[in-house]
Amino acid sequence: MTDLLPQPGILFTLATYIVMVAILVVVHEGGHYLAGRYFGVKIDAFAFGFGRELFGYDDSRGTRWKFNLIPLGGYVKFTGDMNAASQPDPQLAALPASERAELFLFKPLWQRAIIVAAGPLINFAFAILILAGVYMALGHPSTPPVVSAVVADGPAAAAGIRPGDRITAIDGSSVDRFEDIANAAMTSAGAPMTVAFERAGVEKTVTVTPKIVETVDRFGGVVRHGRLGIARSGAQVVENVGPINALRYGVADTWGITVSIARTIRQIVMGERSLDELGGPIKTGQVTGQQASLGVLSFIVFMAFFSINLGFINLIPIPMLDGGHLLLYAVEAVRRQPIGAKVQEWAFMSGFAAIMSLMVVLTWNDLGAVGVWARVASWLS
């Protein structure tokens, strides 16, 4: 049994979490900023963090670059926005046409959509570049999708899979390496999977129901995931790649992670997984510290994973998120006229309430996961 690694200290965990969030906020908000500048939108502020301004400066274009008290987040404020969520000021319509031309609210619909989408999209691009850089520096590892051993009483054995079988597809998605099989099994909620494989040149298809097991990670955390009961060949191949193939692998892995995130959220919404498995800010900070304690490379790769998460979550069609803005723009495109100010206000308020409610639930779960509620119960007993 592998010895458990010590948990990183609170200050180290907090520092690495702040560094990661700061970098990703600059990347995300930088996407909005660059797209806005490209289309000639006037920008009041680019803020690092929230709350009271600590220091800052004004550039030649009139944008205030400021650093605020709370370093967890940030925003770009376009001229005419009432708040950091880019809720427009309804009084802007009274401005002269020359002034409205520079305002985000009066830009063509397609330009507004690009500016809003630029934030999440640059998160995906950032992750692709990180992964591509890692692959160029260290090579791209992969293991052939060949089964070397089968657990006697496992799901794969019950379905008829044998050593030597080469897995070719799972649920219709092609499999190129054993890592694809492991990822599909681990993100499974125990639902049956259609597995295609090749045996002695003959294609076969079986249905396998992964077994949900609990394992302990290197830091003592309990993780629930699916398992098929097969082992890889162990013959890992590290391919030296140039920029083109590195980018191709970066795109493929980013897409695979995105699909896994979408599958997990769908499983939670459908009740196939517990909401307890969805980490909040405390859990994210804890994992960030753990990965950073393993070295700079682990921290950078985890930052790529979290960047994909940030991009995906921001595309969810909830008002206040970028996806919510895009949803309202889609409605505007169908109606061929802007949505009323009252409806937008209601949408933003409901979106804010939904996000805050989710954060409260996730934080509550996080506090339970790190043992806070158990300690409180022991004090009261």
By residue range, what is the domain housing residue 367? 10-39+107-132+306-380
Q: Are residues 122 and 163 in the same domain?
A: no
Domain final position from 239, 259, 285 = 239
CA–CA dist 150, 160 (Å, integer) = 10
Q: Among 2-11, 36-45, 120-129, 320-329, which range has the highest average pLDDT?
A: 120-129
Mean pLDDT of the 107-128 span: 95
What percentage of the chain exceeds 90 in pLDDT? Answer: 31
Do the Cβ atoms of 228 and 184 come closer than 8 Å?
A: no
Within this chain, do residues 146 and 123 fall inside the same structural domain, yes or no?
Answer: no
Establish if 35 belongs to a structural domain: yes
* 304 — pLDDT class (breaks 50, 70, 90): very high
| Same domain membership, residue 201 and residue 160 | yes
29, 102, 198, 214: the catalytic one is 29
| Cα three-residue angle 22-28-34, rounded to 5 degrees | 120
Residue 83 has pLDDT above 60, yes or no: no
Domain identity same for 164 and 206: yes
Do 161 and 145 share a structural domain? yes
Domain count, the chain: 2
At residue 214, the pLDDT reads 75
Do both 226 and 318 map to the same domain?
A: no
Mean pLDDT in the chain? 84
213 strand-pairing partners: 225
pLDDT in tens, 131-157: 999 999 999 988 888 888 888 888 888
What CATH number has the domain bearing residue 190? 2.30.42.10
Write out pLDDT tens, residues 348-381. 778 778 887 877 877 777 776 666 656 666 676 6
Taking the C-alpha atoms of residue 121 and residue 128, their distance in angstroms, rounded to an integer, is: 11
Q: In this predicted model, what pLDDT tens digit does every residue of 258-302 receive, in sequence order?
A: 988 888 888 888 777 777 777 778 888 888 988 999 899 999 999
Q: Tell me if 362 sits within 8 A of 277, measured CB to CB.
A: no
Q: What would the pLDDT profile of 196-251 be if each residue is shown by its tens digit?
A: 999 888 898 999 888 888 777 676 667 777 888 888 877 778 889 999 999 999 99
The answer to the question of residue 229 being in a domain is yes
Indicate whether 126 and 24 sit together in one domain.
yes
Task: Say if 223 falls within a structural domain.
Answer: yes
Task: Verify that 35 and 119 share a domain, yes or no.
Answer: yes
Q: How far apart are CA 46 and CA 362, in angstroms?
A: 29
Among 188, 218, 239, which residue terminates a domain?
Answer: 239
pLDDT at 1: 45
Burial 327-354 (b: 16+ CB within 10 A, else e): bbbeeeeeeeebeeeeebeebbeebeee
- 121 and 155 belong to one structural domain: no
Would you state the pLDDT for residue 87? Answer: 59
Annotated catalytic residue 29? yes
Give the separation between CA 191 and CA 213, rounded to whole angstroms.
Answer: 14
Domain assignment of residue 259, yes or no: no
Whether 367 is in a domain gets the answer: yes
Judgement on whether residues 121 and 195 belong to the same structural domain of the protein: no
145 and 168 co-located in one domain: yes
In this prediction, residue 90 has a pLDDT band, given cuts at 50, 70 and 90, of: low
Answer yes or no: is 190 within a domain: yes
167 and 114 housed in the same domain = no
Indicate whether 343 belongs to any domain: yes
Q: Is residue 204 part of a domain?
A: yes
Domain's final residue, options 239, 262, 286: 239
* Rounded CA separation 333/140 (Å): 43
Given a cut of 80, whether residue 54 has pLDDT beyond it is yes
